[in-house]
Structure 1
């Protein structure tokens, strides 16, 4: 009799599993509380972990190569690496906001932002310079809903 690999069926079952079941599997497979991310994230990470445990993870040389590539991209700056690349607008993007009848234009650069010919590392610092009060720059320029979490 031929052995049937149970992993593909287990992966397929993730799509139909209730959220509570996904969270329970997360606790079992990662030995931590599940993160507060969306269902799709949980499914994809669980699927990877199930396969990793069944078939083995990345080879050590692959892990080292990925770490080297990551350091090339963020210079080993842990704070910068935590900023999701898809949250940061592409360099060259212009952010425009009208404030008290005046148009404010910010340009996204490789290292941060530029406003009125001056470089800034933080978009919140620019929002503060424009308004004179503390602002979340992402909210001020409409890049994030003030009720959502980054």
Structure 2
């Protein structure tokens, strides 16, 4: 099997292209020598001799998925490089928090939902803010106040800060 020239698609001996899932399934069937050979064709250089079969498989599977679906964005790559140089977890946490804050930008049209006092509230991200009950708000915190009557961190109220994304639909 080989990659077709100028393409990210795997082509088998009969000339049929394989899906990403088929490519990865094929990797699972390869022995160490087969994975090393596949590494050469995918990476354009010999596989590091010290890598065991499971790591060769994992790296190749990642590369196939990244080629098909897109790789890490530049900010994430930079974060990982910085995290690799720190001495303790206490130094990594602020880096992760800063990265999390930058990822708060939402795609226009995203709908956030939150149940409060047995009532479902829906908010839509629009240019310049968020729409709730026909009104445009600058921030989610203003909407959280409108719903609860108390001050809340808006992203936390809608489950965006604690890793809970149940309220997000696009």
Give yes or no for TM over 0.5: no
TM-score (norm 1): 0.44
The answer to which structure has the higher strand fraction is: 2
Which structure carries more relative contact order (alpha carbon 8 Å, separation 6+)?
Answer: 2
TM-score (norm 2): 0.39
